[in-house]
Amino acid sequence: MASLTLDAINTKVLKCEYAVRGEIVTLAQQLQQDLQANPGSHPFDEILYCNIGNPQSLGQQPITFFREVLALCDHPSILARSETEGLFSIDAIKRAQQILDQIPGKATGAYSHSQGIKGLRDTIAAGIEARDKFPADPNDIFLTDGASPAVHMMMQLLIGSEKDGIMCPIPQYPLYSASIALHGGTLVPYYLDEATGWGLEISELRKQLQAAKSWGINVRALVVINPGNPTGQVLAEGNQREIVDFCKEEGLVLLADEVYQENVYVADKKFHSFKKISRSMGYGEEDISIVSFQSVSKGYHGECGKRGGYMEVTGFRPEIREQIYKVASVNLCSNISGQILASLVMCPPKVGDDSYGSYSAEKDAILSSLARRAKTLEDALNSLEGVKCNKTEGAMYLFPRIHLPQKAIKAAEAAKTAPDAFYCRLLLNATGIVVVPGSGFGQVTGTWHFRCTILPQEEKIPAIVSRLTDFHKGFMDQYRD
């Protein structure tokens, strides 16, 4: 047998966990293979992957304009052909030409500047300015293969040892816990308050920061996910101001996960970037370090497979910026299609453009459907015995609390698994619905949750509701104390 053994590899890798693609998903893949090999072998026809924010895997169609531009940039030689005008919209052809003109030598097959193509960063900065009404600098933009590598890059920079702490919400998106573990740092938790719709209390931040300091941890940064993942809340503007002041006072880098900025479903809440909030408070480059993460994988477009994204890095000293650039340069650059798509997302068709009608119809249909799906699933969950689900104001997830009976908790113990994982496994086996146990995100000890996306296509939602409801009733009948 090959000689490399577990005790010889990096212990930080061993410690890292990532539940979104963890055990339950492995089981789901096995069931899917079963179903293919032996149709009818399970009490369901298909596996419904509600474990991950992956809209197009569940049938969501891409935005036509975006794909037209990508195809033309992939094969620019058809731009000169007459047939192309019959196949592609006029403004997609024009946009592809503009983008190609921004790329040195029109070479979409070349490595770009390590921060990304300058012209595309100009477009993105202009999009941020239009969104925030405050200046954005293209030199602050680092384009990355989705948001995840950007998060890793910042963790790599900020974490030198287990003495370096990063404050993260609990529950959190497990990319953060995984990245902190891989880089050998300490996750300093702060708990969101489920009772107030996953509220973020400054008193809790202060308490946890003091506790970490008392253990000798140098806390470097605060992660805020807004809209929340897995918790779906959208922060109020006043709350954001308090967070900015807290980071400023405590000298913490504010790592702002803003990848769900287009996913807000309630009329009384709006997305505000943390940079906009800080600038509106009169704070500039000298006052606070903010990194804003954005991705093409989320929003209404949900282009997960394209791996596009960026971070906007403000308020860092030049010598730190050089270090960030150096780390980016070791990986040369992010993929050019993803870079192009990030520029399209931040500068979509405008009123008067040839594609505006189809673009806005596609966008509105997706976002309004997501809002309806969120509401239907939320209501369904809240109608279940012992289940309480906060409103999904934004993002793509529901994170219901399940009050599990003692008998279920004992059964989970006997099965050597966490009670919420036990519930999720039975749910999968009975219905084919894949959700992620709350323990993968963190939760108050003794409480149990799961994360379920709102992404199955709308016509499937009634069946999901009825399968979920039937399962839950049966589960409670079996385990009710």
Residue 289 interacting with a second copy (CB under 8 A): yes
**Which residues from 247-276 bind a second copy, rule CB under 8 A?**
251, 253
Among 28, 42, 68, 277, binds a second copy (CB under 8 A): 68
Residue 304 interacting with a second copy (CB under 8 A): yes
As measured in angstroms, the least distance from the Cβ of 64 to a second copy is: 7
Residue 382 interacting with a second copy (CB under 8 A): no
Among 28, 50, 91, 145, binds a second copy (CB under 8 A): 145
Residue 33 interacting with a second copy (CB under 8 A): no
Strand, helix or coil at 130?
helix
Residue 16 interacting with a second copy (CB under 8 A): yes
Q: Judged by CB under 8 A, which stretch of 62-70, 262-270, 364-372, 380-388 contacts a second copy?
A: 62-70
- Per the CB < 8 A criterion, the answer to whether 440 and 396 are in contact is no
As measured in angstroms, the least distance from the Cβ of 62 to a second copy is: 5
The one-letter amino acid at 210:
Q
Beta-sheet strand order (sheet of 253-257): 141-144, 309-314, 290-295, 253-257, 218-225, 164-170, 186-191
Residue 37 interacting with a second copy (CB under 8 A): no
Which candidate, 288, 313, 453, 435, places its Cα nearest to that of 370?
453
Q: Judged by CB under 8 A, which stretch of 303-311, 356-364, 392-400, 442-450 contacts a second copy?
A: 303-311
Among 31, 178, 344, 424, binds a second copy (CB under 8 A): 178
Residue 476 CA to chain centroid, in angstroms? 32
**Which residues from 198-237 bind a second copy, rule CB under 8 A?**
218, 220
CA distance 349 to 413: 55
Q: Judged by CB under 8 A, which stretch of 70-78, 190-198, 389-397, 473-481 contacts a second copy?
A: 70-78
Residue 348 interacting with a second copy (CB under 8 A): no
Residue 9 interacting with a second copy (CB under 8 A): yes
Residue 112 interacting with a second copy (CB under 8 A): yes
Give the ranges where 281-355 is alpha helix by DSSP (H): 318-330, 336-345
- Per the CB < 8 A criterion, the answer to whether 172 and 192 are in contact is no
Which candidate, 357, 347, 300, 293, places its Cα nearest to that of 102?
347
Alpha-carbon separation of residue 134 from 128, 352, 452 (angstroms): 8, 25, 36
Residue 98 interacting with a second copy (CB under 8 A): no
Residue 166 interacting with a second copy (CB under 8 A): no
Residue 478 interacting with a second copy (CB under 8 A): no
Work out the end-to-end distance of the chain between its first and last CA atoms, rounded to an integer number of angstroms: 50
Summary count for the chain: helices (H), strands (E)? 17, 14
As measured in angstroms, the least distance from the Cβ of 46 to a second copy is: 11
CB atoms within 10 A of CB 289: 20
Q: Give the nearer residue to a second copy in terms of CB position, either 108 or 390.
A: 108
As measured in angstroms, the least distance from the Cβ of 251 to a second copy is: 4
For 3, list phi and psi in degrees, rounded to 5. Answer: -85, -20
Q: Give the nearer residue to a second copy in terms of CB position, either 31 or 175.
A: 175
Strand, helix or coil at 199?
strand
Among 27, 35, 44, 78, binds a second copy (CB under 8 A): 78
Q: What angle do CA 81, 84, 89 make, to 5 degrees?
A: 140
Among 37, 195, 267, 330, binds a second copy (CB under 8 A): 330
Q: Which helix (H) or strand (E) holds 294?
A: strand 290-295
Among 41, 43, 75, 473, binds a second copy (CB under 8 A): 75
